[in-house]
Amino acid sequence: MMGAEFVSLSLPPMLIGTLAAIACALPGNFLLLRRQALIGDAISHVVLPGIVAAFLLTGAVATWPMMLGAGGAALVAVLLIEAVRRLGGIEPGAAMGVVFTSMFAAGVLLLELSDTSSVHLDVQHALYGNLESLIWLDGTGWAALSDPQALRALPPELPRMAAVLALVATLTAILWRPLKLSTFDEGFARTLGLPVRGIGLILVVMAAIAAVAAFDAVGSIIVIAMFICPPAAARLMTNRLERQIWWSVGFATLSALLGYVLAGYGPLWLGGRHAVSAAGMIATVSGVILGAAALFGPCRTRS
């Protein structure tokens, strides 16, 4: 397991999965505390119409147009939710439900109507991602990690996800105080002169960037699960925000690594011959962690 095969087949997806999980969990903490946990759900549903629109516009399945399309769709969705909520006087949950299901339906319809048989673009791909296929052919052994030539052949998702995580982490660190203040007591933050709405918008944009980068590599299921499960489990472990963040990072990492290992090697241990979906297993593991925290976490109940 720890040989050359591990470095080329398992190490890159595990790293990418972990980076994606942490990048989603970080903004997820604040969304959870602001009772906006389902924004992540909404954003990951509208990724599909975004990539389909990008494909129809450019005629090719390329990474950057698709990420731009997904990001654009996320932005449109957030604006539409806000518009429906304000113009129609509809409560936020229902407004969200109307917008993201409609956009998802439009995405499926567009996909069915356009000729995508020649390219790899389908609903399942957007949902499950293809973590298992992110292999590193030049990673012939641990030595390859110090070989610049081999490193250049790493799956491009790895540096991209690392960059996005760095961006999200840096933004969280810089905006730590305003984020914390405005999440805890919006009225007070306003009296301090903080741009409360701007901070809320930055948070949503941060979440959208993480979601769009992550869905491409690991699929939407992981994105929704990592936005919510690690921060929720972390909340039940501590009553301090700083510690909650670290717990959530830990839980996200654990989910990604354990989920990948269980999906890849679990069936073999049980006598099976094929691996199961890593994305699904990572989400499942994060759910088990949340279940354990809900049963035994020291701060699980309201006090």
Partner 1 sequence: MLSDALTLQLGYNAALVAVGAGLLGMAAGAVGTFLFLGKRALVSDAVSHATLPGIALAFMVMVVFGGDGRALPGLLLGAALSAGLGLLCVSWLSARTRLGEDAAIGAVLSVFFGAGVVLLTVIQTLGSGRQAGLETFLLGATAGMVRADALVIAIGGALVLALALLLRRPMLMVAFDPGYATAQGMNVRRIELAMMGLAMAITVVGLKIVGLILIVALLIVPPVAARFWSDRSGVVIALAGGIGGISGYGGAAISATAPGLPTGPIIVLLATAIFALSLLAAPRRGVLAIALRRRKVQA
Partner 2 sequence: MMLDARLTGDRPIVDAPAALADSPLAIRGLTVAYGGKPAVTSVDVTFRPGRMSAIIGPNGAGKSTLLKAALGIERPVSGTVTCWGKPLARQLARIAYVPQRASVDWDFPTRALDVVLMGLYRELGLLRRVRPAHRETAMACLSRVGMQDLADRQIGQLSGGQQQRVFLARALAQGADLYLLDEPFAGVDAATEKAIIGVLKSLKSEGRTVIAVHHDLSTVAEYFDRVFLMNTRAIAEGPVATAFTADTLHAAYDGRLASTLPGLSNGTPHAE
Helices (H), the chain: 4-5, 11-33, 38-58, 63-88, 92-113, 123-128, 148-151, 157-174, 176-184, 186-191, 196-218, 220-235, 241-269, 278-296
Q: 143 or 294, CB closer to partner 1?
A: 294
Give least dist CB 271 to partner 1, A. Answer: 12
Choosing from 89, 148, 187, 193, the residue that interacts with partner 2 (CB under 8 A) is 89
**Tokens matching residue 25:** 């969990």
Q: 120 or 302, CB closer to partner 2?
A: 302
Choosing from 152, 273, 274, 302, the residue that interacts with partner 2 (CB under 8 A) is 302
Report phi then psi at 94, rounded to 5: -70, -40
**Tokens matching residue 32:** 């959870």
Binding mask 216-255 for partner 1 (x = CB under 8 A): -----xx-xx-xxx--x--xx-------------------
Residue found by looking up tokens 């081999």 in the block: 150
The span from the CA of 235 to the CA of 183, in Å, is 14
Q: Is there a contact between 30 and 203 (Cβ–Cβ < 8 Å)?
A: yes
Give least dist CB 302 to partner 2, A. Answer: 5
Q: How many CA atoms lie within 13 A of 127 on its CB side?
A: 8
The span from the CA of 136 to the CA of 71, in Å, is 27
Which of the stretches 53-61, 69-77, 95-103, 196-204 binds partner 1 when contact is defined by CB under 8 A?
95-103
The verdict on 150 binding partner 1 (CB under 8 A) reads no
Enumerate binding residues for partner 1 (CB under 8 A).
Answer: 32, 35-38, 40-41, 45, 84, 87-91, 93-98, 101-102, 104-106, 108-109, 112-113, 123-124, 127-128, 221-222, 224-225, 227-229, 232, 235-236, 263, 267, 272-277, 279-284, 286-287, 290, 294, 297, 299-302
Enumerate binding residues for partner 2 (CB under 8 A).
Answer: 89, 301-303
